[in-house]
Structure 1
Amino acid sequence: MTRFTKLDLSQLAPPALIETVDYEAILADQKAWVQSTWDAYRVGRPDLPTLDTLMLETEPIVIILEAVAYRETLLRALVNDKARALLLAYSVGTDLDQLGALFDTPRRLIDPVNKIYQSDAEYREEIQLAPEAFSVAGPEGSYVYFARRSHPSLSDAIAINPRSNRVDVVVLARDGSGVATSEAVTAAYNALSPKTTRPLTDDVHTMSSKPIDAAVRVLIQIGGGPAPETVRANATKALDNYRLLRRRIGMALRTDGLIGAARSGATGIEKVIVESPAADVIPDGYSHVNVTSITVDVEVIDD
């Protein structure tokens, strides 16, 4: 099943307006500027001494240049941060909220009681989807945008065209097993009203994604150096992050992905064996993988 995909912002080349800030390079440039300025001044004043002490750390002018170079480094870093705030791939917090306002896409309140708003990562995805909603022809991305934003409990949506003019819109809940409530499913349907959003000819059906339960258990073999409990904790955290990344409708949970996640989360690993699931878990467009548990066993082996 091929789901609607957006441009992967993480794969974009670093923008040219974000410069590499190098304190040593800045200091060397300032020393060269002072040296050349002094030498040029001595052309008219040959009685002045040569400046040959810029390599000495205790030279007063060098200390001053180091302070100036440090402040310039901070200033350039600040300019970089300000530039990142204007780019969707890097913007965070209230800066990201301002970008969302350009597309009439405010950050969603997902927990009114505790006043918890959606994360930057989730919000960034919806801002990126927003231009899809500008169309009046009902493209796939438009269905995804309106369905996702229809209810605070929803974190993902997908639109499927099984036949002719029928459109199945499948939604995923953020919490629990991922099964959306009837209220959320109805909200998604109402958000796709033919009066304001979709073409009159589209026969839309909204439904919850079905969970495919999978327990994750991996065995990590290490040498005698690393601390087993540290390895276990770090690998468990990395596996949980991978679980969250794969908690999407129609997105597979890969065994090699579990191996890669476990390895990335800990050092000193000799081997990672995935004991469960036995193979990739591949849902269709109407379901998602629901990881019910993550267990990491650590075994110390001889080098």
Structure 2
Amino acid sequence: MTINLTALPKPQIIDEPNYDVILARVVSEFVTLWETLRTDNPSLNLPPYDVTMLETDPAVIGMEAESFRESLLRARINDAIRANLLAFARGSDLDHLAAFYDVSRMIGELDDRLVTRVILAIQGRSTGGTEPRYKFIAMSADLRIQDAIVYTVGRSPLIHVAVFSTTPDGVAPADLLTIVNAAMQNPAVRMVNDTIEVASAVQQVVNLAADLWLLPDADVATVARAEANLRTAWASARALGRDLTASWWTAQLMISGVHKVAPTAPIGDIIAPPASAVSLGTITLTNRGRAF
């Protein structure tokens, strides 16, 4: 299972600077030093320092400048810390962090995908052909792979690799399967006793239907926008083994202007097996009128 880095708590080492807090500390330290100077040198007849003096006072200007400089320095230190943490590293910082784990960015690969492969590479470091290891190899074969799942059926020793591509329907074309299969069969990565079979992810095309009630001031184009919002959201969320739940897809129809949504087909959830990805077929939305 891939670690969800976004669910981790904020690292304690990262301490976001607060200019006002820093300035208050600097002023307090200055006043303490000033009072010590007055006490130790009564002959100088130094007056008490009033921190509420005009902002044009040189001491005030100096303290504000020093506080701002410290804020910038601490922010830069935080950036350096983040650059060394997989959850935060981006761009070339992430490239260097990935290189530590013998992973290099593919041409055109986005940061989030590279992070996923780095995690898989770490999890897959084993003397055996682990699931994360084989998934890492599959996803490293070609940038057109959106997701892949490695599984076995029953007690069969055959290892299945189901590939979900970046094409609109998720079906992996023949040339992509050839590339992935070549990567999986490479003697340098495949365990001697493993038999691996690569195939495109099985597709479930689901037709959806629902009744919609619009708010009184909503225009009729709201129905079309609701469908577009659902398709866009599922295109982003769709993945191998992800169920299409009724509560999820009806929630995507609740855009501005929609008062109520009632699913009519299917009523229940669509369960996706591990090697299956659900695609949306037709979406039939019936405008039942307007209501509050």
Is the 1:38–1:51 contact (alpha carbons within 8 Å) kept by the matching residues of 2?
yes
Letter matched to residue 254 of structure 1: T
**How many residue pairs align between the two structures?**
287
The aligned runs of 1:162-177 (5 Å cut-off) are: 162=153, 163-177=155-169
2:155 counterpart of 1:159:
no
Change (3 A) 1:133 1:51: same
2:8 counterpart of 1:12:
yes
Provide the identity percentage: 29
2:277 counterpart of 1:288:
yes
Please report how far the alpha carbon of residue 178 of structure 1 lies from its aligned counterpart in structure 2 after TM superposition. 0.6
Change (3 A) 1:36 1:261: farther
Q: CA RMSD in A?
A: 3.5
Change (3 A) 1:259 1:24: farther
CA distance in 2, matches of 1:228, 1:77: 49
Change (3 A) 1:237 1:16: farther
CA distance in 2, matches of 1:236, 1:276: 18
Unaligned runs of 5+ in 2: none
Match of 1:122 among 113, 117, 133: 113
TM-score, length of structure 1 as denominator length:
0.79
Match of 1:89 among 70, 87, 92: 87
Change (3 A) 1:268 1:18: farther
Is the 1:133–1:146 contact (alpha carbons within 8 Å) kept by the matching residues of 2?
no
TM-score, length of structure 2 as denominator length:
0.82
The residue matched to 1:62 in structure 2 has which SS? Answer: helix
2:132 counterpart of 1:141:
yes
CA distance in 1, matches of 2:143, 2:260: 41
Letter matched to residue 22 of structure 1: N
Match of 1:42 among 38, 61, 69: 38
Report the equivalent of 1:32.
Answer: 28
CA distance in 1, matches of 2:71, 2:233: 34
Unaligned runs of 5+ in 1: 110-116
The residue matched to 1:192 in structure 2 has which SS? Answer: helix
Report the equivalent of 2:50.
Answer: 52
Change (3 A) 1:19 1:164: same
Please report how far the alpha carbon of residue 252 of structure 1 lies from its aligned counterpart in structure 2 after TM superposition. 1.3
CA distance in 2, matches of 1:38, 1:235: 69
- The structure number with the bigger radius of gyration is 2
The aligned runs of 1:258-277 (5 Å cut-off) are: 258=249
Report the equivalent of 1:188.
Answer: 180
Match of 1:64 among 62, 65, 79: 62
Is the 2:213–2:291 contact (alpha carbons within 8 Å) kept by the matching residues of 1?
no
Change (3 A) 1:269 1:102: farther
